[in-house]
Amino acid sequence: MSSYMVIEDLAKHFAVSISTIRNWVKSGDIPADTYVKVSSIYRFNSAKVEAALLARDAGKDVTVTQSEIEATGDELESLATTVVSAGAEDDELHSILDEYEKDL
């Protein structure tokens, strides 16, 4: 039997906000056959949700331009400079940068 999870856990699983999950449900990006709804409570099958999102994204153009890459690099450099000037240790800096890169 597949496990089902609450919306908060699903949002954490995909590293998005609860509002994003709700928007994906409303837009159909998370199809009705991937969750159970009783009253106003949802339980999501994370494996089915992930498969649906991957299928959705398979058709999208994920081309990244050189200017987007350069802009991201500039943002990271600026963030690193700010963090270092604030006195962050090397390990802390790497941790902060890793979290920032996840959000990109």
Domain check: are 54 and 24 in the same one? yes
Domain check: are 70 and 90 in the same one? yes
Question: What tokens appear for 58 in the block?
Answer: 């398979």
- Higher local confidence (pLDDT), 80 or 34: 34
Question: What tokens appear for 89 in the block?
Answer: 């240790």
Domain check: are 41 and 71 in the same one? no
Domain check: are 86 and 51 in the same one? no
Q: Which domain holds residue 87?
A: 66-103
pLDDT at 1: 47
pTM of the model: 0.54
Domain check: are 9 and 30 in the same one? yes
pLDDT at 12: 94
Domain check: are 52 and 76 in the same one? no
Distance of CA 26 to the CA centre of its chain: 17
Per-residue pLDDT band for 91 (boundaries 50, 70, 90) equals: low
Structural domains counted in the chain: 2
Domain check: are 88 and 43 in the same one? no
Domain check: are 13 and 40 in the same one? yes
Domain check: are 35 and 51 in the same one? yes
Q: In the chain, how long is the greatest CA-to-CA distance?
A: 52
Domain check: are 9 and 32 in the same one? yes
- Higher local confidence (pLDDT), 30 or 77: 30
pLDDT digits (tens, 9 = 90+) for 46-82: 999 998 888 887 766 555 566 656 666 666 666 666 6
CATH number of the domain at 28, please. Answer: 1.10.10
Return d(Cα 41, Cα 35) in angstroms, integer.
10
Structural contact between residues 49 and 30, judged by C-beta atoms closer than 8 angstroms: yes
